[in-house]
Amino acid sequence: MLLDPGLDLTLRPMRYPQFYEMYRAAIRNTWTVEEVDFGTDTADLQTKMSDADRHLIQRLVAFFATGDSIVANNLVLNLYEHVNAPEARMYLSRQLYEEALHVQFYLTLLDTYVPDPDERAKAFAAVENIPSIRAKAQFAMKWLDSARELGPLHTKEQRRKFLLNLVCFASCIEGLFFFGAFAYVYFLRSRGLLHGLAGGTNWVFRDESAHMAFAFEVVKVAREEEPDLFDASLAERIGQMIDEAVACETLFAEDLLSGGVAGLSVRDMRTYLEFVADQRFIQLGLPVRYHAKNPFGFMEQQDVQELANFFERRVSAYQIGVTGEVSLDSAF
């Protein structure tokens, strides 16, 4: 079984070809930070944005400064050990590379947006010093640390605790904290601002959607192989965890929007987070909890080009006639 302890090496016969296909799909979606053009972002920050907008961006950058490193650490320290199939570990290796790419992207963003070295250092210290970011980091660390103490997954309860870590990182951190962050980016883009950040975010968004799809597939396989793992206590603990994540991210919204950003309210942000959280319950095969509708039209439509793979994207950049829009909702 997938969660049996060990370091399985057998690729033929392959037990989980879906993980291998996810690995291959990820390879086709390779992008580089050097392709992101931050050319107009600096001028936007200096001349087109209010102090309240700049506060929002400053906090967002501070979250991004460490967010993907925390995810990468959990991949190496917990997921890689316990998801015991070589084809799944190939996917995790690829995901680790993508997380490094995200770290590089956000580092480049920070270097571009925050020229002052002391301010940059403060962004990295935000996990300690800024309460709304500290709360999110502590939430992540709690789950990261508790999984590190598990050892080999011999018992059902150990496996449930591991699944809670997996669900936390997929549903709450990649699937809620990052999705919340992307909403601010797309809100600013809807006002014609920060196209460099939005361009790179399109690719990070696609990567995170794939990371979640992998994690949910692991959950699905584990559930099929060991239905008794999914008892009422696990569902209850997942519900509490996601409630806690929504609360953390709402605290972050209150901080980001504290200057009063026209067109974006904490209330709408909270509804959006509940809508996203409901999608995670659906992906986990659990009943929805909040029954929230997406209040953000700007999150529903993305350019069709951004969903194309790397080579198609390269070609389409030189073509005219690539038009139309596609809903990203169906992809996550």
Among 44, 68, 274, 278, binds Fe ion (CB under 5 A): 68
Of 53, 103, 74, the closest CA to residue 259 belongs to 53
* 120 binds Fe ion per the rule CB under 5 A: no
Question: Which of 18/73 has CB closer to Fe ion?
Answer: 73
What is the residue-wise DSSP string for 245-305? HHHHHHHHHHHHTTT--TT--HHHHHHHHHHHHHHHHHHTT---SS------GGGTEEEGG
Chain positions 199 to 238 lying near Fe ion, rule: CB under 5 A, are: 208, 211
Q: DSSP 3-state assignment of 7? A: coil
Find residue 327's DSSP bridge partners. 301
Catalytic residue among 16, 91, 106, 184: 106
CB of 75 within 8 A of CB of 102? no
Question: Which of 73/301 has CB closer to Fe ion?
Answer: 73
Question: Which of 290/310 has CB closer to Fe ion?
Answer: 310
- Catalytic-residue membership of 106: yes
Question: Which of 49/210 has CB closer to Fe ion?
Answer: 210
Q: Where are the beta strands (DSSP E) in the chain?
A: 301-303, 325-327
Among 41, 53, 81, 174, binds Fe ion (CB under 5 A): 174
Tell me the closest approach of the beta carbon of residue 158 to Fe ion, in angstroms. 24
Tell me the closest approach of the beta carbon of residue 163 to Fe ion, in angstroms. 18
* 94 binds Fe ion per the rule CB under 5 A: no
Tell me the closest approach of the beta carbon of residue 216 to Fe ion, in angstroms. 13
* 249 binds Fe ion per the rule CB under 5 A: no
Tell me the closest approach of the beta carbon of residue 13 to Fe ion, in angstroms. 29
* 102 binds Fe ion per the rule CB under 5 A: yes
> Of the listed pieces 60-68, 74-82, 151-159, 218-226, which binds Fe ion according to CB under 5 A?
60-68
The one-character DSSP state at 177 is I
286 to 249, 282, 323: CA distances (angstroms): 21, 6, 37
> Of the listed pieces 65-73, 185-193, 247-255, 288-296, which binds Fe ion according to CB under 5 A?
65-73
Tell me the closest approach of the beta carbon of residue 212 to Fe ion, in angstroms. 8
CB of 188 within 8 A of CB of 198? yes
Find residue 326's DSSP bridge partners. 302
Of 154, 106, 123, the closest CA to residue 6 belongs to 154
Radius of gyration of the chain (CA): 20
Q: Which residues are catalytic?
A: 106
User: Residue numbers of the site for Fe ion (CB under 5 A)?
Assistant: 68, 99, 102, 174, 208, 211
